[in-house]
Structure 1
Amino acid sequence: MEYKMNTKMNISLPKYEQYKDSGVEWLGEIPEEWQTTKVKNVFTLIIDPAPKNNAFELLSVYTDIGVKPRRELEERGNKASTTDGYWFVKKGDIVVNKLLAWMGAIGVSNYDGVTSPAYDILRAKIKIESNFFHYLFRNDACISELKRHSRGIMDMRLRLYFDKFGDIIIPFPKYEEQLNIVSFLDRKTAIIDQAIGINEKQIELLKERRQILIHKAVTRGLNPDVKMKDSRVEWIGEIPEGWEVKKLRYLANCFPSNVDKHSKVNEKEVRLCNYTDVYKNDFITDDMDLMVATASDEQINKFTLKKGDIVITKDSETASDIAVPTYIKENLTNVICGYHLAIIKTYQINYSKYLFQALKTKLFNTQFEICSNGITRVGLGNSDLRNGYFLLPSPQEQIEIAEFIEKGTAKIATAISLKEQEIEKLKEYKATLINSAVTGKIKVCEPIN
């Protein structure tokens, strides 16, 4: 008997000879020789306070990568001034973030260290391969079960306490089979992760190529033999003869939006283009699923988005996310600009596509990053936006440059999209493989060709 996975990797794996009903809905059938048991029969909740003035490794559990030393991933983040009163963690313990277990923040620790009392530490009561349970607890089917047993009135307030977690029924193969499954998954997931990493690097290279293409076009034009002149702006350097350096206020009307997410009975219903819509998309189109809100007549008149408008992020958590642009590619139905954003309406229509491309370059975007200020959240003032410098070719050159960039970046965008699709397929395959192995849908205790 074989279990076939419909993936590009086209791997066929054997199944067990006989199965039985586990009696557990999320598990379904399991191999005849496997057992089921409750989590509390395998693990005990440990409360082991670390000694004062200790120098143990501070550990955290993350949804995407499991348990890791915090210093490796949060050098710029908040650091505990002391770890007195933290829980001691031994290598092989399962660490559970009670608040985020339903999102996958659970995993085995490969380190001795300490962790926040907000986490639960589970230690094996019997002989097990801890990494088997790492794979089990982090697979999608089990995470859904963790969520079902969590308490709270809404997702962001869910808590998974051990009295509930301990009652969850899980598959329990023999120890030797746990070892085989872990060995198999370690080997296979390493291959998949390597393939994902290669695709991610290729995407970064494609993005760099796109940035170089745009930068060269908006700073030197399309004529490789053009004569250059001093721009008289140090950070811009030389520019083509015939081009001008202009402040944005001479090219466009710029103003921030004050329309927040709300619904009021005395206002008109609108579709709201929000921060995430701008940050995640190069273009805003009418078929997008935008938030429904309300706005006053005055706000509708001022902030309605029209074809050719540019919208940028003006507030963000980090300065590097300031002045990220999107372009209004077509006429929209009842769409207005939301809060934390600014609208740029060019005085001449041929400016807009060219200016949008210029805003996507690091050279011009960095000036706004530098001007932004704030502590927990940074913002770009409208005066700083209006006084930003840009290069202005002739109207005809602007059109030609915008068309050249649009055509060139479209090819790159297609290549990036294909790579992203490949990554999603690999991630889906990895999740299916793990789930199938830890629930006994495939047999991995024999060598796989």
Structure 2
Amino acid sequence: MNTFPKYETYKDSGIEWLGEIPDSWELTKLGTCLTPVSKKNRADLPLLSITREQGVIERDIEDAESNHNFIPDDLSGYKVLEKGQFGMNKMKAWQGSYGVSKHTGIVSPAYFVFDFAKVIDPIFFNWAIRSKLYVSYFGSASDGVRIGQWDLSKARMKAIPFLLPSPEEQTAIAHFLDQKTAQIDAAIAIKEQQIALLKERKQILIQQAVTQGLDPTVPMKDSGVEWIGKIPAHWEVKKAKFIFDEIDERSNTGNEELLSVSHLTGVTPRSEKNVSMFMAEDYTGSKTCQPNDLVINIMWAWMGALGVSSYEGIVSPSYGVFRQKSENTFQAFYLEGLLKTAKYIEHYNKVSTGLHSSRLRFYGHMFFDMKIGFPSFEEQTEIVGYLVSQTSKMDAAILSQEQQIEKLREYKTTLINSAVTGKIRVTSGDEICTP
């Protein structure tokens, strides 16, 4: 931000998280900027949601995945939120679930709805109030016994400080942020596309190697399994029950390292970063697993949620844990790569039981009845060596793109915070005035 011009004079705001502010800006409170309103009996209007990621959006009532909250038959008690008004989910204000609406519709009667009591550019207000600085402060102003059950009272909300530049500066800042963040988002989107292409190339490379081998000229044969198709003529085909034993060893203490299994990460130590599900207090009776054990999350196998563990630890008692009868049948990297290929995942989908995808189950007997086509341990070693060499280059390229995206996101956050608190000076459009 050092490259941007600043205001000529600043004053101490007296508020630590705001710091110094432009001398010409007004330091006020949300209570003087907003007037609560409560209009109801408009069940004819569309339903709106107030989200952390996007603010106020139109609610797709047909999308079951995004509609976890109960919708009553009688919507006459729902509040009207008009375009240009400020709406807030007070139970999730600490997450940033609020914003100026671009739509006219109805929201939960538990939400807050406000008109502006001063001359305020609604786009500027939305940029400012949804900046990381304000979201963090809303968290400190909310009350509750624990995270997830915090509540924000109107009295606490009214006392939250807010910075107001002149109306002309508000519009200039809003226009500047619209343009600059759109440019940053476009740059991020390009890098995300590059990552997706790299991951796709990596998956194709792995799939080709683990199902066809490295030599494209080798004679092929029919595997005898319709969904597997042709494999190299010298490869074996065996049912899993002849290769694996199911392990049902249980923890007596629950103190071992807690592991999770997902389609994205395979088997990894469980933490709040990679698991959003409920964390139990007592893990006694969990299944134990050893390094090189195959662990299958039976509820999400249809997505490829399985992996060969590199860890000694415990997993959910509902998972399947399988151990090779012979240590020299499968290389761990090869086995996981093979069982995560598209044909195998399609097979899990086909044989799993359940009414719909979120209820499908791939049980141990289904795995045991499945046939696997594979080469010798020595050829697997050769395949793994090749794949590690090639995919490491792709992983490095992906990591580089991810790091660049993180820097762009950090820059975007800093740019917004700086613009709405006067740390940089904006005059009109996307032009930055000189000092």
Shorter-chain TM-score category? 0.7 to 0.9
Residue 411 of structure 2 corresponds to residue 425 of structure 1: no
Match of 2:424 among 431, 437, 442: 442
Match of 1:263 in 2: none
CA spacing shift, 1:66–1:285, aligned 2, 3 Å:
closer
Match of 2:257 in 1: 271
Match of 1:97 in 2: 89
Distance 1:269 1:76 in 2: 35
Match of 2:24 among 24, 33, 41: 33
Greater fraction of residues in strand: 1
Residue 298 of structure 2 corresponds to residue 314 of structure 1: yes
User: With structure 1 as the length reference, what TM-score do the two structures score?
Assistant: 0.85
Deviations 1:154-192 (Å, cap 9, x if unpaired)? 011001232211111111111111101000000000000
Distance 1:118 1:320 in 2: 38
Match of 1:411 among 378, 393, 416: 393
Match of 1:245 in 2: 237
Match of 1:65 in 2: 54
Distance 1:194 1:256 in 2: 50
Distance 2:381 2:395 in 1: 21
Is 146-155 or 353-362 further displaced after alignment?
A: 353-362
Residue 308 of structure 2 corresponds to residue 327 of structure 1: yes
Indicate the SS of the match to 1:269: coil
Distance 1:293 1:46 in 2: 44
For the 8 Å contact 2:302–2:362, the answer to whether it is kept is no
Match of 2:101 among 102, 105, 109: 109
Deviations 1:76-123 (Å, cap 9, x if unpaired)? 443846443221111111221112211111111111122222322122
For the 8 Å contact 1:254–1:382, the answer to whether it is kept is yes
Per-residue deviation, 1:282: 4.6
Indicate the SS of the match to 2:60: helix
1:223-242 aligned within 5 A:
223-242=215-234
Indicate the SS of the match to 2:120: coil
Distance 2:210 2:398 in 1: 22
What code does the residue aligned with 1:64 have?
E
Residue 332 of structure 2 corresponds to residue 347 of structure 1: no
Per-residue deviation, 1:401: 2.0
What code does the residue aligned with 1:273 have?
L
Per-residue deviation, 1:311: 2.5
Match of 1:366 among 329, 334, 346: 346
% identity of equivalent residues: 36
Per-residue deviation, 1:61: 1.7
What code does the residue aligned with 1:200 have?
E
Is 385-394 or 135-144 further displaced after alignment?
A: 385-394
CA spacing shift, 1:111–1:436, aligned 2, 3 Å:
same
Is 234-243 or 139-148 further displaced after alignment?
A: 234-243
What code does the residue aligned with 1:242 have?
H
Distance 1:417 1:122 in 2: 44
For the 8 Å contact 1:128–1:178, the answer to whether it is kept is yes
Is 101-110 or 387-396 further displaced after alignment?
A: 387-396
Residue 142 of structure 2 corresponds to residue 156 of structure 1: no
Match of 1:336 in 2: 314
Per-residue deviation, 1:280: 5.0
User: With structure 2 as the length reference, what TM-score do the two structures score?
Assistant: 0.87
Distance 1:92 1:185 in 2: 18
For the 8 Å contact 2:29–2:162, the answer to whether it is kept is yes
Distance 2:326 2:216 in 1: 27
Distance 2:269 2:145 in 1: 36
Distance 1:227 1:211 in 2: 24
Distance 2:11 2:361 in 1: 60
What code does the residue aligned with 1:406 have?
V
Match of 1:357 among 313, 332, 337: 337
Per-residue deviation, 1:430: 0.5
CA spacing shift, 1:159–1:292, aligned 2, 3 Å:
closer
Is 20-29 or 384-393 further displaced after alignment?
A: 384-393
Distance 1:119 1:295 in 2: 38
Indicate the SS of the match to 1:422: helix
Distance 1:165 1:285 in 2: 39
Match of 2:288 in 1: 303
Q: Could you tell me which runs of 5 or more consecutive residues in structure 1 were left unpaired when the two chains were aligned.
A: 5-11, 260-265
Distance 1:75 1:272 in 2: 31
For the 8 Å contact 2:259–2:269, the answer to whether it is kept is no
Distance 1:93 1:122 in 2: 6
Deviations 1:382-409 (Å, cap 9, x if unpaired)? 2122223321222322222222222222
